[in-house]
Amino acid sequence: MLMEKKLYTVIVYSENIAGMLNQVTAEFTRRQMNIETLNVSSSNVEGVHRYTISLWTTEWLIQRVTKRLEKKIDVLRAYYFTDNEIFMQEVALYKLSTPRLLENKQVSKIIRHNNARVIEINSAYTVVEKTGKTDAVLSLYKEFAAEQCVLQFVKSGRVAIVRDANVNLSENLFDEDVVRSKVRR
């Protein structure tokens, strides 16, 4: 069980200071663990940054790496989750050729069927936005690509929120009494 490879999502809260990202990713680099997605931004707590990192690995390794992350002086908390424990989304932007979109009605249908949103139209290009899981945003790209209308495509790393109704990860960030790791009792 511990040695089965799965996609894990690691969520880290740290102080917002220079060099933190390096410290966080170094723990993965040290073991040559390849990061699939990485999202870093300010959190709901002032001065605290939140990292959402996804990667394929084993529970045995991710347990140990998560503890090491949490040990860093300026890291407040580190957690890891499997996909069934979280809601996660990615944002994708598709820059499509407006002339191709106008001459090929299929493209508009694809946008509607996928619940994607048009956020910019001009005579040269149209920007479409789609939020969803990795598969959904990538399959939309493939559909557009099949119609040969894509000028540019980009997708973000995942952001994730915990499913458990009783868990608020950013709660008690500074409370020493809270056991610092979900890894251990």
Partner 1 sequence: MKKELITGGEALLRSLINEQVDTIFGYPGGSIIPVFDALYDHQKDFHQVLVRHEQAAVHAAQGYARSSGKVGVCLVTSGPGATNTLTGISDAMLDSTPVVVIAGQVSSAVLGTDAFQEIDLVGVTQPISKWSYQIRSAEDVAWAVSRAFYIASTGRPGPVVLDFTKNAQVSQVLYEPMKVDSVRSYVPYPKPNMDCIKEAADLINRAKRPFAVVGQGVELGEAHKELIAFLEKGGIPAARTLLGLSSLPSEHPLCMGMLGMHGNLGPNVNTNECDVLIAIGMRFSDRVTGKLETYAKQAKIIHLDIDNVEIDKSVPVDIPVLGDCKETLPLITELLNENCHKEWIATFGDLDKIENEKVIEKAVNPTDGPILMGEVARKVSEATGNNAILVTDVGQNQMFAARYFKYKLPHSIITSGGLGTMGFGLPAAMGATMGAPHRTVCYFAGDGGFQMNIQELGTIMEQKCPVKMIVMDNSYLGMVRQWQQLFYDNRCSWTPMCNPDFCKIAEAYGIPSRFVTDRSELDAAIKEMVETPGAFLLSVVVRAEDNVMPMMPLGASVCEMILE
Q: Does residue 174 interact with partner 1 by CB under 8 A?
A: yes
Note whether 11 and 169 are within 8 A (CB). yes
Q: Does residue 1 interact with partner 1 by CB under 8 A?
A: no
Note whether 147 and 51 are within 8 A (CB). no
Here's the x/- map for partner 1, 47-66, by CB under 8 A: it reads as ----------------xx--
Q: Does residue 185 interact with partner 1 by CB under 8 A?
A: yes
What 3-state DSSP class applies to 74?
coil
Choose which of 9, 70, 90, 149 interacts with partner 1 (CB under 8 A): 70
CA proximity to 137, closest of 87, 96, 90, 84: 90
Q: Does residue 19 interact with partner 1 by CB under 8 A?
A: yes
- Tokens 């090929």, residue? 104
CA-based Rg of the chain, rounded to a whole angstrom? 20
Q: Which residues are at the interface with partner 1 (CB under 8 A)? A: 14-15, 19, 22-23, 26, 30, 63-64, 67-68, 70-71, 73-76, 174, 176-177, 180-181, 183-185
